[in-house]
Chains A and B, each alone.
Chain A
């Protein structure tokens, strides 16, 4: 088709003509319409639906503050700690940029966890939105990596020893472990070489991947349209123009609404930045105000609060616990064989894998299986769209007792997080082990429990109460 530029009347304004020129060469107006002014989102979003926009805001805050921090930070083991104090004291307004970045890191995880909770409760990951969820879990993984690499940069005691411990986790992998750790570190211990490469990952590699995944996440969402707290597909009921009856254009309704929520978020965010940047040692850990000392391990190393649920699972995996895990694996394989409708080949595969894992648990250390369990605890999120067999998407139309399953899962997750911050104790480990079973049980047994019970009738139209 030959190039067609729309002809405007001669008295059209300069602005209109300029826009027309651009639109003939670049999908500016069409993108604006498709994703904002004519992207029809369900009108019944509740408070939990704002956290996606907030996550995007925090991403921008981190990138912008990060750029200005890199202008003064020195990624050298001898200079890094002092360069952070240089930013705090000698750079005009440096202290504010630093606190925004450190608070933003924790804010990112709070926002993302609530965002994921929303997805869990309302079945946002269900067909046709599985890919949105997959990109999202990818973003979560990148976010954890980004936070981990970034945490080494201040080169404090917690930075150093936290990195040492986590990199040594890879050393637990059989056969290749020690070489892998050596390769990751670039040295025999965490050192200047490690700092420099973590800096490269934190500043450029992962941010690029993150931005790409966020774009993919939003594009995938817009392709099928947003879900809503009722789990009703608004595209099933269209008006004569093809616009969903329960849909409202994102702009101006949700853009203005999100700006309102953003100001509330910023109030809380700046309250922390200006009045409690350390947040009791959770956002800026006390021990990180001591320069890294490779010869002196602090008495108590804990990862930053947002990693602690998964860290707890790692620590809970003691040698004794491995026996329980073996029993669990055996029971699960039995469940698959006896009570699932999977194909015969799948059942055989499950049995073989189960057997290999059980044998492996006799051969390899609990240390290795702790790492595996911790990894699986995150990776299992990828499987969620296929584990959920409920006939309804949203918790609003599920049997009431499903709510308690979600509450138990939530409490188990929070308890794991709390235990991860504390030093290990016998009682704490036992509780963490119970919570580990609850955590995995929630996901692995979901194909069964999510379809059980009496479901409520899902309406054709969303439930909306005018403001």
Chain B
């Protein structure tokens, strides 16, 4: 019995072990605009203009953007590179080899990035939302930029014109895990030059972009949830029917 109690106690305390591992930058919760067509369309525009020069989204077909309320004409006129057709995938002109030479790493395909970045620290959108808002100027890096969520990332701050230039302030504080050692702790940003958007506007723009990427990672999600409600209701009816049918047979069993 005592052994049993010890085991139960151990089982309950185990989750604490998980948190003791890597310390990642705490993630902000990404606002969810995946049901807001205007936000998704804005996100699509930002995505095509800022991301597709280096990243591909090779599983995403341009004409699927009709699902977020864009017409084929709007897609053709505003979002397509001149050589693409509306039925084509969002591929990138830059080759992987060139990218690796210029940035140190091949920019990953972004088709399902919003699903891939989930972890115990937060959801995929949370990661993307925080990542795109924590770039800071760092002249020790080849691109001149560094990032709090992804330290020493090869990607420059493509949205810098919108957010403006910021530097990050760090302090040396005692390392809580190791005696006698200090660690770099982030304490705040300093705005050096303003961007074309205010901080609130920038956060909204990033939220739109992240919501677009969340939608793009699984375009079927809106249909999925909508149909799901009906399927569950139908099954609920089936449960009642089969339950009474079952009871009608089993009342004969003594």
Residue B192 lies at the interface, judged by CB distance under 8 Å to chain A: no
Q: B246 touching A257 by the CB < 8 A rule?
A: yes
Given A270-B232, A271-B232, A418-B11, CB of A278 within 8 Å of CB of B242: no
Extra pairs beyond A274-B228, A414-B11 (13, CB < 8 Å): A85-B112, A88-B220, A95-B220, A253-B249, A256-B242, A263-B239, A274-B231, A275-B225, A404-B1, A412-B7, A423-B18, A425-B21, A428-B17
* Interface set of B (CB-CB < 8 Å, partner A): 1, 3-4, 7-8, 10-11, 14, 17-18, 20-22, 58-61, 64, 108-109, 111-113, 115-119, 124, 217-220, 224-225, 227-228, 231-232, 235-236, 238-239, 242-243, 245-247, 249-251, 253-254
The answer to whether A286 touches B246 (Cβ under 8 A) is no
For residue A248, CB closer than 8 A to chain B, the reply is: yes
Query: Is there an interface contact between A411 and B8, defined as CB atoms closer than 8 Å?
Result: yes
A324-375: which residues lie under 8 A (CB-CB) from chain B? none
Whether the pair A467, B115 counts as a contact (CB closer than 8 A) is: no
Q: How far is the CA of A89 from the CA of B119 in the complex (A)?
A: 24
Contact A89 B220 (CB under 8 A): yes
Q: Which of A95, A99, A260, A422 touches B242 (beta carbons < 8 Å)?
A: A260
Chain A proximity of B122: nearest CB distance (Å): 11
From A272, which residue of chain B is reached at the shortest CB distance?
B228
Q: Which residues of A contact B7 (CB under 8 A)?
A: 408, 411-412, 415
In the complex, the chain A residue whose C-beta lies closest to that of B216 is A89
Among the stretches A131-139, A201-209, A215-223, A287-295, the one at the interface with B is: A287-295
Q: Does A120 contact B (CB under 8 A)?
A: no
Q: Contacts A257-B250, A267-B239, A425-B20 given: A408-B59 contact, CB under 8 Å? A: no
Interchain CB contact under 8 A, B1 and A275: no
Q: Closest CB-CB distance, A166 to chain B, in whole Å?
A: 22
State in angstroms the CA–CA spacing of A431 and B117 once bound together: 30
The reply to whether A422 and B17 contact each other, CB–CB distance below 8 Å, is yes
Residue of B nearest to A300 (CB): B21
* Interchain nearest-CB distance for A435 vs B (Å): 8
Flag if B231 contacts A253 (CB, 8 Å): no
Q: Which residue of B lies closest to A401 (CB)?
A: B1
Asked whether, in the complex, the Cβ of A274 is within 8 Å of the Cβ of B250, the reply is no
Q: Please report the C-alpha to C-alpha distance between residue A257 and residue B250 in the assembled complex, in whole angstroms.
A: 9
Chain B residue nearest to A274 (CB atoms) is B228
| Shortest Cβ distance from residue A30 to the other chain B in the assembled complex, whole angstroms | 24
* Total A-B Cβ pairs within 8 A: 128
Residues of B within 8 A of A414 (CB): 11
Which residue of A88, A411, A412 is within 8 Å of B218 (Cβ)? A88
Which one of A43, A275, A281, A466 contacts B118 once the chains associate, using CB atoms below 8 Å?
A: A281
- 30 residue pairs A–B, Cβ–Cβ below 8 Å: A43-B253, A89-B64, A89-B220, A96-B224, A252-B249, A253-B249, A256-B249, A260-B239, A266-B238, A267-B232, A271-B232, A274-B225, A278-B118, A286-B117, A286-B124, A287-B116, A404-B1, A408-B7, A411-B11, A412-B7, A415-B11, A422-B14, A423-B21, A425-B17, A431-B14, A464-B253, A466-B253, A466-B254, A467-B251, A467-B253
Residues of A within 8 A of B22 (CB): 299
How far is it, in angstroms, between the C-alpha of A431 and the C-alpha of B10 when the chains are bound?
A: 8
Contact indicator B116/A286 (Cβ below 8 Å): yes
Encode contact with B along A71-101: 1 for CB under 8 Å, 0 otherwise: 0000000000010011011100001100100
Q: How far is the CA of A282 from the CA of B251 in the complex (A)?
A: 41
In this assembly, does A427 line the interface, its C-beta being within 8 Å of a C-beta of chain B?
yes
Q: Does A22 contact B (CB under 8 A)?
A: no
- A89→B232 contact, CB < 8 A: no
Residues on B with beta carbons closer than 8 Å to the beta carbon of A299: 22
Closest to B218 in A: A88
CB pair A407 B4 closer than 8 Å? yes
Q: A88-B220, A252-B249, A270-B228 are known contacts. Are A408 and B235 too (CB-CB below 8 A)? A: no
A70 interfacial contact with B, CB 8 Å = no
Complex A-B, nearest 6 residue pairs according to Cβ-Cβ distance, in ascending order: A274-B228, A289-B116, A85-B59, A260-B242, A95-B220, A260-B246
Give Cα A89–Cα B18 distance, bound, in whole angstroms. Answer: 35
Chain B residues closer than 8 Å to A266, beta-carbon distance:
235, 238
A275 neighbours in B (Cβ, 8 Å): 225, 228
Most chain B Cβ neighbours within 10 Å, of A43, A260, A275, A423: A260
- When chains A and B are docked, how far (Å) is the Cα of A252 from the Cα of B252? 12
Interface positions of A from 255 to 273, Cβ below 8 Å from B? 256-257, 259-260, 262-264, 266-267, 270-271, 273
Q: How far is the CB of A299 from chain B (nearest CB, A)?
A: 7
Instruction: Tell me whether A59 is interfacial, beta carbon within 8 Å.
Output: no
Q: Are B116 and A290 within 8 A (Cβ)?
A: yes
How far, in angstroms, from A364 to B236 measured CA to CA in the complex?
57
- Once the chains bind, are A82 and B20 in contact (CB under 8 Å)? no
Inside 8 A of A273's CB, which chain B residues have their CB? 228
Residues in B whose Cβ lies below 8 Å from that of A289 = 112-113, 115-116, 217
User: Which residue of chain B has the shortest Cβ distance to A467 in the bound complex?
Assistant: B250
Chain B residues, CB < 8 A from A190: none
In the docked arrangement, what's the CA distance between A140 and B250, Å?
A: 33
> Could you say which residues of chain A place their CB within 8 Å of the CB of B245?
256, 259-260
Contact partner, B109, options A88, A260, A270, A291, Cβ 8 Å: A291
B151: min CB distance to chain A, Å: 14
A contact residues around B109 at 8 Å (CB): 291
> Which among A266, A274, A278, A431 has the highest number of chain B CB atoms within 10 Å?
A274
The CA-CA distance from A274 to B234 in the complex, in Å, is 14
